[in-house]
Amino acid sequence: MSIDFAHELNEAQLEAVTATEGPVLVIAGAGSGKTRTIVYRLAHLVQQGVDPAQILLLTFTRKAAQEMLARAEAILGRSLHGTSGGTFHSFAYATLRANAMDIGFEGGFTLMDRADSENICKSVKDDLKLGKGDRSYPKKATLMDVITKSRNKELTIDAVLEREAYHLNPYLDDFTEISDGYAKFKRQHALMDYDDLLFLLDELLEKNEPLRNQLQTRYKYIMVDEYQDTNLVQARIVRHLAGTKGNVMAVGDDAQSIYAFRGANVANILEFPKIFEGTKIVRLEKNYRSVQPILDLTNEILQGATARFDKNLYSDLKSDKLPQVIHPLSDQTQARLVVDQILKFQKKYLLHDIAVLFRAGYQSFSLEVALTRIGIDYQKFGGIRFHEAAHIKDVLSMIRLVLNPHDLLAWQRAMDHIKGVGPKTVAKIYAAMHTKDGKSEKYLTKMVGKHEALRELLVELDKLRSQPPKPGAVLESLLVYYQPILMEKYPDDYPKRQAGLEQLSQIAAGYSDMETFIGDLSLDGDPDDEKRKENAVVLSTVHSAKGLEWSAVIIIDLVEDRFPSRRAMQRAEDLEEERRLMYVACTRAKEHLTLLVPSSVFNRASGMSEPTLPSPFVTELPETVYDRLNESYGGGLEQRRKQVVSLPEPSTDTLMEEAAPSGPKVDPRKLGFCKHKIFGKGKIVAFIEPNKYRVNFPGFGLKVIIGDYLELL
């Protein structure tokens, strides 16, 4: 039975499906029906008389390959038995097993999983007598991470440490020694890890011409999904299998290459036409997901890319609403505005059809607290939930002990870093603290003398209980005390954890009493995140959101050092990847897209909010593709009219004067304390004629506010 695909595909998809001879590169824009195109091409090849056994489909997950083959079989109404469909690693495993003698494994080999690899790393480290007595020594998982990144990125270990884990540089020589020992151990014991599968296959195909010719003859039609995610060795394997003029189709989107940290190299897709002679390029630009105004914005994001395949996404889905760019006064008020947006969208969509996206996991902490406080359920993907982060639990346990010295669970957590003090010893110390007799006092004195860290903890808690119980001040003292503990307890990744503690400090600045602060942080929803919940707002890192979609998407913290991240601002190629990450984030939205650009962010070092620079990905956007809203000092949102000529923005004083409601003037003679709807309680520093005040708000710094907005205390 012949199937007419023309009715099932758009013009570009049909061109990709029917272009079966020679190299083909399909640039599949977001939401453009990439999988559908691959499925129909599989069906078309078989319908044209190609033997399924001559087709090789390489994907990044086994599930993706199985789904594509099953859908193609459903279209054809027959089996595709014989087609080789699977991951690069599964293909490499099967090929190496069949040719084990050619790679020096005469008796075969055993494939290890990640846990096996980590244990061997530890064994090698111990045999080399490295790290003895060093509690800060990198854990086996970190050793393995660095080794595998070095291989996948084909960089030296020192280059990996310099770029991604500078704090581990003192262990560079050890990493190199362990890496060499690990490789030697595997070879001696006929073992392979997942990286070996790819590199040994590459080596085998490079050196064994008869095998290479045999595989090229067998697999006359090769298709590779998500080509932008391939690393250097995977691209070489494709080249070996296809030759330079073979029937190879690569499908992907250079604008969605966001996994450089795993070794993905965007140059593979950008240079595909140079590597494979006579490449036909097909662009899938019709988007089936998003309304046109969202695509107009995402097309503009890509305009600033230095190296890209030109494409212009378009859609039949129309809307008269532009995406919104909201400028909150600070990252502290941002969480409240996001909650307001969610409540607005909730009138139209189920909660699980609303997503808040961010660059790094810690950036959602304030929002998690705000959502929990008003009872909106959420589910987080990527990064650790605020309440589950070990270092956050450490600090919160100490805060709980400031309020309640009888909290045994908090004592167990707070003493967790003290070597030689386990749960049973904690219970004894706890009993001694709360028993008024000579024996208990003697035991406590003995333990304090034996464990300096215990003495330091008790002194710190006594100091915190003696100072005013303001969450911001208590946390500031506590974080100074906790810093060396953080570095010792989490030596592998403490710089990353530090960002979460900064966010906790920012949350604390918004509270005036300890009980409310700790109460809000202790409330938690269902921790079961294994499967997607119904009717729960999705909070997700952009990396975890790739391939998904929601009716309404909100992206937060679009300022320099947060999105793009601070590290990405230092290297041009990293900044380009951040741009692609922004594109991926925006193209997740179907009907509504909201971008938030806080005007200031809290800085724990200064105890104030400091001005930000908006993300370059936002400042580059022409005003025609979005509506801009500014948070007013009264707490609402004011739409900024679009200007044909670019003029200097009015000062905040002018904006406040225009927006000020009529009402009684504040007595200018009173320069005590005042209260503001957004900034909370502040100290009046000066009066400015005719009706303004300069006020110092803790956590926000100095602000000039019109008197109508202030309540004098």
Angstrom distance (rounded) from CA 500 to CA 429: 31
Cα angle for residues 124, 129, 132 (degrees, 5° grid): 115
Angstrom distance (rounded) from CA 575 to CA 569: 6
Using an 8 Å Cβ cutoff, are 413 and 393 in contact?
A: yes
Using an 8 Å Cβ cutoff, are 642 and 623 in contact?
A: yes
The DSSP H or E segment spanning 222 is: strand 221-224
Angstrom distance (rounded) from CA 287 to CA 446: 71
Other C-beta atoms lying within 10 Å of the C-beta of residue 244:
11
Structural tokens at position 580:
């692609």
DSSP 97: H
Structural tokens at position 297:
């914005």
DSSP 534: S
Burial 461-482 (b: 16+ CB within 10 A, else e): beebeeeeebbbbbbbebbebb
Crossing angle of helices 365-374 and 494-508, rounded to 10°: 40
Angstrom distance (rounded) from CA 16 to CA 2: 19
Angstrom distance (rounded) from CA 673 to CA 683: 5
Cis peptide before 564 (omega within 30 of 0): yes
Q: Which residues are annotated as a binding site?
A: 28-35
Angstrom distance (rounded) from CA 419 to CA 296: 58
Residue 702's identity, in one-letter code, is: L
Other C-beta atoms lying within 10 Å of the C-beta of residue 173:
11
Order of all β-strands in the sheet with 550-555:
378-381, 537-541, 354-358, 550-555, 589-596, 324-327, 627-631, 637-639
Using an 8 Å Cβ cutoff, are 235 and 152 in contact?
A: no
What is the DSSP annotation of 273-337?
HHHSTT-EEEEE-B-SSS-HHHHHHHHHHHHT-SS------B-S---S---EEEE-SSHHHHHHH
Q: What are phi and psi of 264, to 5 degrees?
A: -60, 140
Count CA atoms within 13 Å of residue 176 on its CB side: 11
| CA 135 distance to own-chain centroid | 29
Other C-beta atoms lying within 10 Å of the C-beta of residue 484:
12
Cis peptide before 469 (omega within 30 of 0): no
Among residues 597, 521, 610, 530, the alpha carbon closest in space to that of 564 is found at 597
Structural tokens at position 685:
């520093």
Q: Which residues are annotated as a binding site for ATP?
A: 28-35
Angstrom distance (rounded) from CA 537 to CA 300: 28
Residues making up the chain, counted from first to last: 713
Among residues 466, 445, 482, the alpha carbon closest in space to that of 402 is found at 466
CB burial of residue 185 (10 Å; 0-12, 13-18, 19+): middle
Residue 29's identity, in one-letter code, is: G
CB burial of residue 82 (10 Å; 0-12, 13-18, 19+): exposed
Structural tokens at position 250:
């690569």
Using an 8 Å Cβ cutoff, are 151 and 124 in contact?
A: no
Alpha helices in 415-509 (DSSP H): 423-433, 438-450, 452-466, 471-489, 494-508
